Amino acid sequence: MSTKKIRTTDILKAKNQKKLVCTTCYDSIFAKVLQDSSSLDLVLVGDSLGHIVQGNHTTLDVTLENIIYHTKCVKNSLKTPLLVSDMPFLGMSTDTATLFENCQKILVAGAEAIKIEGHHPHLCDQISLLTGYGVPVMGHLGLTPQHIHSLGGYKKQGKTPKSSEILMDAAKRLEDAGCFGIVLELIDFEVSQKITESITIPTIGIGSGPYCDGQILVLHDLLGMNTEFTPSFLKLYETLHLKIDTALKTFAHEVQNEIFPPKT
Report which of 64, 51, 57 is spatially closest to residue 24, judged by C-alpha positions. Answer: 51
Q: In the complex with ligand KIV, which residue's Cβ is closer, 84 or 252?
A: 84
Find out whether 151 and 172 touch, Cβ atoms under 8 Å: no
Residue 185: active-site member: yes
Q: Which stretch binds ligand KIV (CB under 6 A): 44-52, 74-82, 164-172, 207-215?
A: 44-52
How many amino acids of this chain bind ligand KIV (CB under 6 A)?
11
**Shortest gap between Cβ of 248 and ligand KIV (angstroms)?**
27
Q: Which residues pair with 71 in a beta bridge?
A: none
Q: How far is the CB of 62 from ligand KIV (least distance, A)?
A: 9
d(CA 131, CA 116): 12
Q: Name the packing angle between helices 121-132 and 96-109 (round to 10°).
A: 60
The minimum distance between CB 90 and ligand KIV, in angstroms, equals: 15
Cβ-Cβ contacts under 8 Å for 71 (sequence gap 6 or more) = 45, 83, 85, 106, 109, 110, 111
- Number of residue whose CB is nearest ligand KIV: 46
The active-site residue, picked from 112, 117, 175, 185, is: 185
Binding mask 171-190 for ligand KIV (x = CB under 6 A): ------------x-x-----
Exposed e or buried b per residue across 1-24, where buried means at least 16 C-beta atoms within 10 angstroms of its C-beta: eeeeebebebbeebbeeeebebbb
State the Cα–Cα distance between residues 261 and 238, nearest whole angstrom.
Answer: 30
Cα separation, 182 vs 176, whole angstroms:
12
Q: Specify the stretch interacting with ligand KIV by CB under 6 A; choose among 43-51, 92-100, 104-112, 151-159.
A: 43-51
Minimum distance of ligand KIV from residue 183's CB (angstroms): 5
Cα–Cα distance between 255 and 1 in angstroms, integer?
40
216 binds ligand KIV (CB under 6 A): yes
Stretch that binds ligand KIV, among 25-33, 46-54, 156-164, 234-242 (CB under 6 A): 46-54
74 binds ligand KIV (CB under 6 A): no
Of 132 and 210, CB closest to ligand KIV: 210
Q: Choose which of 6, 31, 47, 186 interacts with ligand KIV (CB under 6 A).
A: 47
Write the DSSP string, 130-175. HHHTT--EEEEEES-GGGHHHHTSS--B--SHHHHHHHHHHHHHHH
Question: For ligand KIV, which is the closer residue by CB, 44 or 130?
Answer: 44
Rounded to a whole number, what is the distance in angstroms from the first to the last CA of the chain?
43
Residues with a known catalytic role: 185
By the criterion CB under 6 A, which residues form the site for ligand KIV?
A: 24, 44, 46-48, 86, 183, 185, 206, 216, 218
